């Protein structure tokens, strides 16, 4: 007999539906009791989905969430009606009176360990509903998509090779129970499955299913003795799905306190419906304000449900958050509920929303980068949006989170072929999701603009607005030309000359900006400048600070280099050293710029931080001037890696050489007049020979490889990738590192006392998750703020999950089967050295250190 035979043997009799449990729940004494029945839980989730979609505008509901969508959500746990799952849950429910020592005959010989072979109860749900739909001759698209949605409701598609009536699933008797369950759900919800028109439509319904399950699994519904129906609306409110109340008829001036420029006005006049809109304009023009006001108009017209503002990096998204927060305070009515929490940033969203097990601090959706995409208003990285079209765990939840929103994609010029390929697919999908897509860029090539719009473009004007409303033709809208500013350019080939000049300018009282291409180079230059014995202030900004330190550093330096800060600005000269974060989205104004050489579009972004604001109090010695640290052109072409150093591992040698050919003899640049010409001169195709042909061939080979890799991540046919799947191509994997001063597990094992690097001591009580959820969430958010993301090879050595069990309530440590924890934890001593948890060396290869002025450092 085949191991997948459908002939009944070991589980010939099935439990009655009334005996099939969906969950257990813990009392305050940590005792597990029988929770809700499968039928009851499924009905709750179906009603959550129904009420959730009822909060959406009619046009979105009719297009993507028509009647019957709630039935898909309700069916997610049909697979729990199976012997292996019921055996597992009855074993865990020791107080159940009718079960002791495996005494239920219907569960005899059922082995819960087998569930790993088919993806647990989700796999059974997929197989069961697939069989039912085929037997009942449903439409092709329903038969195709509904089982897949159910199979992946925990994030990934199961590996399924068994039929619904396989022995392991309980044979015909248990499949009959599952069919009874579906019939009951149809009756209780009074609907049938909806038509599904496309793969993207299926993804958004899968997202609804998972989110409804998370909400329906929240603590509100734990006790089966409680009446659940009055709790649905409260659960949705707790999860943050509350429609904001907007002030109406606000002008651009009402919100931002200045009159709009022509380019801003034309954007929000034309972006009045779903579609794709690109605003190309120079740095400092106010593209952010233009996009936000367009979003405001779309929402007040009822054409959008919220905003997701996506930026290249977490640092840039953190800063834009402040500007969006001010915007929200202007547009939201005083009676708008959860006004502060609507903008998902930092830890507010983490501490004030409830999403069941998946949203717990040690669950897969606790991290604010993931969860914020579900909020009505959110600022985050582009990565979370890109995952909406990738075959990653819970990618479809992100699809659901974006549906119907204004999605603002900022700084799109900064992505390579890998991310660019995914971005093109995202823009295409957002059209299907009734989104208003606003793309902002200062330095977009004609070719890239055409790809984003999926059609030929012709206009060469700058600034320029490209508008493609749904079901309408492309419009290329010219805007009034802007005043030009000349910047003197000096190409410098030695660091020492630039250091001397930067120190001289700072000593004169100027605010100097120095931008490097790698964290290591930024730390090295910072060390040299900070060690000089003159009365200036030197700072450092990059991505390898603890979140709590990074926020403080950034807040300080953005204020010092911001507008309307004349007194502090004039108090002394300063040099702010940093990485690419300084070129994007930070509203900073420098008197003098030094930059390690980078591709043309990056250099233009950096120059956009030079004399960004009209400032009558600017230091009188300041000149609008940028110094570029460059190698000699011939030497660079001959050996790019040697000439460009670490930059050649960040940017393609071919692009660096092409950029250097454009800039090496340049003595000034007029902005924005020269932007289009400089970009096209750098990136236009041309015949190459010698070393340049080799660099070009390497770039083309890598581009094709990246597009193929991106295609793998986009493919829905392959195995579901983890949420750590790259949305950016990198040769290095990164890991999360928690840094502490000390820790001590209490002798009575009731908790762990830890000391943060700030000196603050907190206690992590064992079992706080069940005893005090508010405190538990607050502790988890605090711990998250004391982590830093670093490359795997520069991280402290991994330890076993068992050794970090005291953190298991607060972090997802990984699959116990693999032994090692995904999280790295290390101690920082009084000398700033990073040590392992036992006081030894944290790394076999590097000396690691950390302090709040230099960040995470390796030697």
pLDDT tens, position by position, 112-169: 888 888 888 889 999 999 999 998 888 999 999 999 999 888 777 887 778 888 888 8
Model confidence at 729, pLDDT cuts 50, 70, 90, reads very low
How does the average pLDDT of the chain come out, rounded? 87
Residue 54's pLDDT is what? 96
Q: Is residue 441 part of a domain?
A: yes
Instruction: Kindly report the length of the chain.
Output: 859
- The CB density around residue 373, as the number of other CB atoms within 10 Å, is 24
Domain that holds residue 786: 734-858
- Report the SS3 class of residue 353: coil
Judge if 449 and 491 occupy the same domain: no
Judge if 294 and 220 occupy the same domain: no
Between 718 and 780, name the one with better pLDDT.
780
Between 257 and 118, name the one with better pLDDT.
257
What CA–CA distance (Å, rounded) separates 856 from 726? 22
Q: Is residue 193 part of a domain?
A: yes
489 - beta bridge partners? 626
What CA–CA distance (Å, rounded) separates 746 from 538? 42
Of 102-111, 302-311, 578-587, where does the model show the most confidence? 302-311
- The CB density around residue 353, as the number of other CB atoms within 10 Å, is 22
- Report the SS3 class of residue 91: helix
pLDDT in tens, 684-703: 889 999 999 999 999 888 88
Judge if 90 and 129 occupy the same domain: yes
Q: Is residue 706 part of a domain?
A: no
What CA–CA distance (Å, rounded) separates 798 from 821? 6
Mean pLDDT of 830-851: 94
Judge if 453 and 563 occupy the same domain: no
CA-wise closest residue to 483 among 261, 256, 259: 261
Model confidence at 5, pLDDT cuts 50, 70, 90, reads very low
Judge if 272 and 197 occupy the same domain: no
799, two tokens: 């330890």
What CA–CA distance (Å, rounded) separates 407 from 397? 16
Burial status of residue 843 (CB atoms within 10 A of its CB: 0-12, 13-18, 19 or more): middle
Judge if 138 and 51 occupy the same domain: yes
Judge if 354 and 407 occupy the same domain: yes
What CA–CA distance (Å, rounded) separates 82 from 107? 9
Model confidence at 107, pLDDT cuts 50, 70, 90, reads confident
What is the widest separation between alpha-carbon atoms in the chain?
Answer: 91
Mean pLDDT of 159-184: 90
Residue that terminates a domain, selected from 478, 510, 535:
478
Judge if 45 and 151 occupy the same domain: yes
Look up the pTM and report it: 0.84
Residues 6 or more apart whose CB falls under 8 angstroms from that of 795 comprise: 735, 737, 824, 843
DSSP alpha helix (H) spans, 404-471: 417-432, 446-453
Residue-wise DSSP of 218-273: SGGG--TTS--GGGHHHHHHHTT-----B--S--HHHHHSSPPPHHHHHHHHH--S
675, two tokens: 């932007």
Which of 300-330 are b and which e, b meaning 16 or more Cβ less than 10 Å from the residue's Cβ? eeebbbbbbbbbbbbbbbbbbbebbeebbee
Judge if 158 and 45 occupy the same domain: yes
Between 821 and 693, name the one with better pLDDT.
693
Judge if 453 and 561 occupy the same domain: no
What CA–CA distance (Å, rounded) separates 128 from 163? 8
Per-residue pLDDT at 651 exceeds 60: yes
- Report the SS3 class of residue 726: coil
Residue that terminates a domain, selected from 413, 443, 478:
478
Task: Look up the CATH number of the domain holding residue 404.
Answer: 3.40.50.300
Q: Is residue 690 part of a domain?
A: no
Q: What is the DSSP letter of 852?
A: T
Q: Name which of 183-192, 356-365, 479-488, 688-697 the model is least confident about.
A: 356-365
Percent of the chain with pLDDT over 90: 55
pLDDT in tens, 329-373: 899 998 887 555 355 444 555 555 666 666 666 566 556 666 778
Q: How open is the CA angle 289-293-299, to the nearest 5 degrees?
A: 145
Q: 849, 857 in Cβ contact below 8 A?
A: yes
Q: 488, 624 in Cβ contact below 8 A?
A: yes
Overall domain count for the chain: 4
Residue 87 — left, alpha, or beta (φ > 0 → left; ψ -120 to 50 → alpha)? alpha
Per-residue pLDDT at 41 exceeds 60: yes
- Report the SS3 class of residue 592: strand
Mean pLDDT of 167-185: 93
Which of 63-92 are b and which e, b meaning 16 or more Cβ less than 10 Å from the residue's Cβ? bbbbebbbbbbbbbbbbbbbbbbbbbbbee
Q: Is residue 88 part of a domain?
A: yes
Residue 307's pLDDT is what? 93
Residue 238's pLDDT is what? 83
Q: Is residue 661 part of a domain?
A: yes
Q: Say how many CA atoms lie within 13 Å of 226 toward its Cβ.
A: 14
What CA–CA distance (Å, rounded) separates 800 from 779? 22
Per-residue pLDDT at 81 exceeds 80: yes
Residue that terminates a domain, selected from 478, 501, 532:
478
Judge if 218 and 350 occupy the same domain: no
CA-wise closest residue to 681 among 651, 660, 711: 660
Model confidence at 731, pLDDT cuts 50, 70, 90, reads very low
Q: 208, 403 in Cβ contact below 8 A?
A: no
Per-residue pLDDT at 314 exceeds 90: no
Q: Is residue 712 part of a domain?
A: no
Per-residue pLDDT at 9 exceeds 50: no
597, two tokens: 């050489």
- Report the SS3 class of residue 481: coil
Model confidence at 73, pLDDT cuts 50, 70, 90, reads very high
pLDDT in tens, 406-417: 999 988 765 667
Judge if 464 and 497 occupy the same domain: no
Mean pLDDT of 658-682: 94
Residues 6 or more apart whose CB falls under 8 angstroms from that of 473 comprise: none
Residue 111's pLDDT is what? 83
Q: 353, 359 in Cβ contact below 8 A?
A: yes
395, two tokens: 């990618």
Q: Name which of 405-414, 516-525, 526-535, 753-762 the model is least confident about.
A: 405-414
Q: Is residue 711 part of a domain?
A: no
Percent of the chain with pLDDT over 70: 88
Mean pLDDT of 178-190: 96
Question: Computed from CA positions of residues 387, 391, 393, 399, in that sequence, does the dihedral angle turn out positive or negative?
Answer: positive
Cis peptide before 463 (omega within 30 of 0): yes
Residue 116's pLDDT is what? 82
Model confidence at 640, pLDDT cuts 50, 70, 90, reads very high
Model confidence at 284, pLDDT cuts 50, 70, 90, reads confident
Task: Look up the CATH number of the domain holding residue 58.
Answer: 1.10.3210.30
């Amino acid at each position: 007999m085949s191991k997948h035979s459908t002939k009944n043997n070991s589980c010939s009799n099935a439990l009655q539906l009334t005996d099939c449990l969906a969950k257990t729940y813990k009392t305050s004494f940590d005792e597990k009791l029988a929770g809700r029945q499968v039928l009851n839980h499924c009905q709750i989730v179906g009603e959550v989905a129904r009420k959730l979609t009822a909060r959406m505008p009619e046009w979105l509901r009719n297009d993507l969430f028509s009647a019957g969508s709630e039935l898909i959500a309700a069916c997610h746990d049909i697979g729990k009606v199976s012997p292996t799952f019921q055996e597992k849950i009855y074993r865990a429910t020791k107080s159940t009176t009718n079960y002791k020592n495996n005494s239920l005959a219907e569960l005899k010989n059922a082995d819960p360990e087998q569930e790993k072979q088919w993806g647990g109860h989700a796999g059974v749900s997929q197989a069961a509903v697939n069989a039912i739909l085929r037997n009942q001759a449903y439409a092709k698209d329903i038969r195709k998509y509904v089982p897949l949605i159910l199979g992946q409701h925990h994030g990934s598609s199961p590996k399924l090779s068994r039929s619904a009536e396989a022995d392991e699933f309980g044979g015909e008797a248990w499949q009959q129970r599952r069919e009874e369950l579906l019939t009951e759900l149809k009756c209780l919800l009074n609907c049938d499955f909806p038509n599904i028109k496309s793969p993207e439509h299926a993804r958004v319904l899968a997202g609804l299913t998972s989110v409804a399950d998370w909400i329906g699994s929240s603590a509100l519904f734990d006790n089966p003795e409680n009446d659940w129906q009055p709790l649905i609306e409260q659960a949705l409110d707790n999860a943050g799905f509350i429609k904001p109340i907007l002030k109406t008829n606000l002008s651009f001036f009402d919100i931002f306190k200045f009159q709009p420029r022509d380019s801003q006005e034309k954007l929000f006049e034309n972006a009045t419906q779903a579609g794709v809109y690109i605003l190309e304009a120079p740095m400092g023009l106010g593209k952010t304000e233009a996009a936000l006001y367009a979003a405001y108009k779309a929402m007040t017209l009822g054409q959008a449900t919220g905003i997701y503002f996506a930026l290249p990096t977490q640092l840039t998204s953190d800063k834009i958050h402040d500007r969006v927060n001010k915007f929200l305070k202007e547009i939201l009515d005083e009676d708008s509920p959860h006004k502060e929490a609507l903008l998902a940033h930092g830890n507010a969203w983490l501490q004030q929303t409830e999403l069941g097990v998946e949203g717990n601090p040690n669950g897969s959706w606790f991290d604010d980068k993931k969860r914020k995409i579900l909020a009505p208003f959110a600022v985050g990285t582009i990565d979370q949006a890109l995952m909406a079209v990738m075959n990653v765990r819970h990618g479809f939840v992100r699809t659901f989170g974006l549906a119907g929103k204004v999605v603002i994609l900022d700084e799109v010029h900064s992505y390579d072929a890998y991310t660019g390929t995914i971005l093109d697919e995202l823009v295409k999908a957002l059209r299907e999701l009734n989104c208003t897509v606003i793309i902002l860029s200062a330095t977009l090539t004609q070719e890239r603009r055409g790809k984003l719009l999926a059609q030929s473009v012709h206009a060469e004007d700058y600034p320029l607005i490209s508008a493609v409303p749904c079901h309408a033709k492309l419009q290329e809208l010219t805007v009034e030309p802007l005043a030009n500013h000349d910047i003197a350019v000096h190409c410098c080939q030695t660091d020492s000359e630039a250091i001397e000049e930067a120190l001289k300018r700072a000593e004169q009282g100027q605010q100097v900006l120095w931008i490097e291409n790698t964290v290591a180079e930024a730390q090295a230059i910072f060390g040299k400048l900070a060690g000089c014995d003159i009365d200036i202030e030197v700072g450092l900004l990059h991505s390898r600070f603890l979140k709590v330190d990074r926020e403080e550093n950034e807040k300080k330096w953005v204020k010092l280099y911001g507008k309307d800060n004349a007194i502090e600005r004039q108090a002394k000269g300063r040099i702010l050293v940093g990485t690419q974060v300084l070129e994007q989205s930070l509203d900073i104004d420098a008197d003098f710029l030094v930059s390690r050489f980078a591709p043309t579009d990056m250099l233009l972004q950096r120059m956009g931080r030079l004399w960004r604001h009209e400032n009558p109090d600017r230091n009188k010695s300041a000149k609008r001037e940028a110094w570029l640290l460059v190698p000699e052109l011939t030497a660079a072409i001959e050996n790019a890696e040697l000439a460009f150093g670490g930059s050649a591992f960040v940017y393609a040698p071919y692009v660096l050489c092409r950029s250097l050919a454009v800039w090496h003899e340049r003595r000034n640049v007029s902005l924005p007049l020269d932007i289009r010409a400089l970009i096209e001169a750098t990136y236009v195709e041309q015949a190459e020979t010698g070393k340049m042909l080799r660099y070009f061939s390497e770039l083309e080979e890598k581009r094709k490889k990246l597009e193929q890799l991106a295609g793998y991540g986009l493919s829905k046919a392959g195995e579901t990738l983890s949420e750590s799947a790259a949305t950016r191509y990198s040769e290095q994997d990164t890991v999360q590192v928690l840094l502490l001063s000390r820790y001590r597990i209490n002798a009575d094992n009731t908790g762990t006392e830890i000391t943060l690097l700030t000196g603050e001591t907190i206690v992590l009580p064992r079992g706080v998750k069940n005893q005090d959820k508010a405190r538990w969430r607050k502790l988890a958010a605090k711990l998250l703020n004391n982590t830093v993301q670093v490359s795997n090879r520069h991280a402290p050595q991994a330890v076993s999950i068992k050794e970090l069990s005291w953190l298991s309530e607060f972090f997802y440590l990984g699959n116990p089967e693999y032994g090692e924890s995904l999280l790295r934890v290390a101690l920082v001593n009084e000398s700033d050295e990073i040590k392992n948890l036992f006081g030894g060396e944290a790394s076999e290869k590097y000396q690691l250190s950390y302090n709040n002025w230099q960040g995470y450092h390796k030697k």
